[in-house]
Each structure stands twice: as C-alpha cells, then as structure tokens.
Amino acid sequence: MNLSRTKIGAILAAPTVVYMVIFFVVPSLILFSYSFWSSESYRVVPDFVFTNYLDSLHSAVFWKVTINAVRIGLTTAAISLVLAVPVGYYLVYVSRSQTMLYLILITWFSSYLVRIYAWRTLLGTNGVLNAVLLQLGIVDHPVDAFLFSSFAVTITLVHIYLPFCILLVTSSLSEIKPDLIDAARDLGTSSLGAFFRVIAPNAANGLAGAFMLTFILVAGDYVTPQMLGGSSGQTTGLLIADQFRKTGNWPLGAAQAFVMFVISIALYFILVSLGRATGLIVKRRTINPKGI
C-alpha cells in the first residue's frame, strides 16, 4: 500500500495532535468560556458577562503587576538571548561539541527551588557576593539591594531559563548551512559581517521564537519574583493563582489569564513588526517540494 507523504505525515502527527486537542485546546476553550461566567461564593455560575474582563482592565493592581511581569519577562528574555547567541554560534559552527551542550543542560537536573535558595545565599546581606566585595574593599558595609530587588529576580531567572534559550538558539542556527558563511567570507565580508548579513537574517525567525518562548515562561513565573523580588516581585501569575486558590473566583482568574495571553500575542506581533521594519527579520519564501 502506497501512502502519500501527506498521509504519512498526518498519521505520524495524529497522536500528538489528538493529545494536544484533548489536553490543551479543549481545556483552553473551557477556560475561555469560564471567563464569561460569574462566580458566587466559590461556585462558578454559567453566564455571559464581560465583568471579569472589565474588572481586570480597570484594576490598577492588575496593570501594575502585569507591567511588572512584562518588564521582568522582556529583560530576562533579552539578556538570555544576547548570552545564548554566542554560545549557540560556538556550538554550531566552532566546536560542534555535544558534551558542551549536555554540560549546559545539566543545570536542569537541579531543583528549581534549590536554585532560588542558592541565589538567596549568594546575594544575601551575609552572602558570598557581599563577602567578596567587603574583602576587596569595594564596599565598606554589606549591600542590601542585591537581594529582594529586580536585580535578584533577573539574575536568577536568567540562570534558570538561559539553558532553554541556548537550546532554541542552537536549534535555529543549525538550520543555516556553514557553506553560506563560507560563501560570504569568500565574497569579502568580515566574520562579524557574515554574522549580521547571513546568520542573523536567516536565523531571525528562530531567534524571535527563542525570545518569545523565554519571555512567555518568565512572564508567567510568579514564584521566583515573589521569593527574590520583595515588593517588586508581584506578577500577574500570582493574581491569577489567587483567584483559583484563595477566592475561588475561577471566571476572574480565567479572564486575567486570557488578558495576559493577548498581551503576549500582541508583544510577539510588535516584535516581529519591528524586526521587519528594521530589516532584522526577513520574510522567508516558502519552497515547494519541487524546489520551484
């Protein structure tokens, strides 16, 4: 029996698609419908109201923590991407070392909470960083501002999500053949020129994807900001969690989750539009199987 490539592809993808439909699409649709329902003393009441969205959009606290979450997400994703690109370049074009990649990924084998507490130990008033600065005579008393600050949140989140970003960047750079770089060099461009004129435009979509996926994971994280950020560590995730756990107002929590979802999508389109407007992201042409 000869099956077309399309049919084989569909059969192979079917289990994943079915899984995602059952465990992601359907629950998301249910959550979306909840966002129009109302809540009464821990009970979700079928309804069709926009109150949950209006309440969220008119809440100063919601915007304050959402802007904070977006700011933490953008900062962490930008720093992670800047740090991940040289590592990805080295892994794809220079070393091709799988061992190096595994060493980077090995940080995932440590507990998330252990890493947060480790950073507390490093950045604390009596922590390693302050001890070093005091020993070197750079400061004459411990710096309180290292811990429970935006700095502490960002440095910890970069530590947690950088390996993930490196993985995505490495994957996107792997698609660009070294022959293209060799050709650019043969035509007289410098190494840096080859990176910006060949690698960056070709990998731009992948890099934008790496940035956005890192952003989404970081902006949704509410444990690290709360444990290391002090009063600057409140994010939308915490508000949403409180609606589900503390007040039992699932509709309001669902509405806030979807507002955050829309903000993430909007940020993605803004990022891509800016990239295209500046020429950093080039729209790639689709090549059909016949290569025409």
Interface residue list for another protein (CB under 8 A): 40-42, 59-61, 64-65, 68, 117, 120-121, 124-126, 144, 147-148, 226-227, 230-232, 234, 238-239, 242, 244-249
**Considering beta carbons, is residue 170 or 224 the nearer one to another protein?**
224
DSSP code at position 64: H
- For residues 87 and 139, give the distance between their C-alpha atoms in angstroms, rounded to a whole number: 33
* CB 29 to another protein: min, Å: 16
Q: How far is the CB of 246 from another protein (least distance, A)?
A: 5
The set of residues, in sequence order, having a beta carbon less than 8 Å from that of 289 and lying 6+ positions away, is: 5
Q: Are 39 and 252 in contact (CB under 8 A)?
A: yes
CB 248 within 8 A of CB 257: no
| DSSP classification of residue 175 | T
37 neighbors 119 (Cβ within 8 angstroms): no
Nearer to another protein, 92 or 160 (CB): 160
Distance of CA 227 to the CA centre of its chain: 19
Q: Indicate the residue among 205 and 226 with the shorter CB distance to another protein.
A: 226
Torsion of Cα atoms, 134 then 153 then 249 then 212, to 10°: 180
Choice between 37 and 195, CB closer to another protein: 37
- Residue 16 or residue 41: which is nearer to another protein going by CB? 41
Structure tokens at 145: 């501002």
Q: Which residue has tokens 């595994």?
A: 102
CB of 239 to another protein, least distance (A): 6
Provide, rounded to whole angstroms, the least separation between the CB of residue 110 and another protein. 18
CB of 108 to another protein, least distance (A): 23
